[in-house]
Amino acid sequence: MAWVALAAVVVVTLAIVAWPSGGKPSQAQRVQSVSSELRCPDCESQSIAQSSTETARAARADIRTRVAAGQSDAEIRQAYIDKFGPSILLKPESGGLGILVWGLPAAALVLGAGGLVLALRRWRREPHLHPTDADRELVQSARPR
Amino acid sequence: MKHRARWIALAAGLVVTVFAVVLATQVGTDPRADANKSHLLGANAPSVDLPTLDGARLRTSDLAGKVVIVNFWNSWCIPCQEEHRALADFYGRHAGDPGFVMVGIVRDDTDDAVRRYVANEGVPYPVALDPGARASLEFGTRGQPETYAISPDGVITGTRFGPSSVANLEQLLAAARGQR
């Protein structure tokens, strides 16, 4: 019963976290979101959304134009990959080799959790041993008088 | 099924091992190595329409049929200053060729600073300004200096990030002429 309750808590928590907030994102939200995923081309470790360089400002304006023209987020990302290469993405791609970066830790986590559950269940199944009279006698005889 | 926990432990160990191997093979590799080269090599050159320092317009559409060398630079960048002489010498060698065009596009600088630099140092080829950094973005620039060679049919045939020597520029020109 405790396991079912625990599983329910986990599922509900994940659902709350993963549930999309609000409805369809506005154009401004999409510009912000895509800009946050792309690395500023001429500065270190900042996104286009964060950077104040002239090129980053130009990129934000370009993304705004592309969103208004009806391009999808994936199309905009691809346009920037075509121009700058995959390193323009702040996070690794979720396909190709990039899937290893995301997939392997998740697989290890799932397998580790599975193993832990099995181990806990096995420990629960094991009988609780109580000392017999023979055990008590053995302990008494071993104690110094 | 008898030793399910063991199999799961084995699988988890295998996954961790694969992950460790992947990480180990990536040590020493630069995840941003692709930032040191242009991804527009072999692609059509972006179409730009920019104001030049002397009040004219630079339109790539007007340059069709010519070999074009485009140099992104600015006045405060030390490597740009270091390659200035090579650019001027290279331009001097080919300025008389009607099929050759060279242009400097200013990246991330103020008009006044550029005008001062051009007046003091002398830049013999046309200089275009890039208000709004649109051309810098379209060419996929990551800094300056960066030099691009464009063939007569408008394809980017060579790029160089960082300061160029005359020999580097000659190589870019030869590639743009299809002489590589």
B4-26 vs A98-125: helix crossing angle, rounded to 10: 150
Does B132 sit within 8 Å of A54, measured CB to CB? yes
For residue B145, cis peptide bond before it (omega within 30 degrees of 0): yes
Least confident of A36-45, B12-21, B92-101: B12-21
Interval B3-30 mean pLDDT: 74
The complex scores an ipTM of: 0.78
What confidence score (pLDDT) does residue B132 get?
93
- A116 vs B: CB within 8 A: no
- Longest CA–CA span in chain A (Å) reads 93
Q: Does B142 touch chain A (CB under 8 A)?
A: yes
Q: Which one of B4, B8, B34 has the shortest CB-CB distance to A85?
A: B34
Interchain contact, B8 vs A111, CB within 8 Å: yes
Q: Running along chain A, 145 residues long, what does each successive block of 10 average in pLDDT?
A: 68 70 85 96 90 95 97 96 92 67 76 80 74 90 85
pLDDT, mean over chain B:
91
Q: What angle separates helix A54-68 from helix A73-84, to the nearest 10 degrees?
A: 140
Q: Give B-chain residues touching A122 at CB under 8 angstroms.
A: 5
Q: Is residue B87 over pLDDT 70? A: yes
How far apart are the C-alpha atoms of A95 and A58, rounded to whole Å?
28
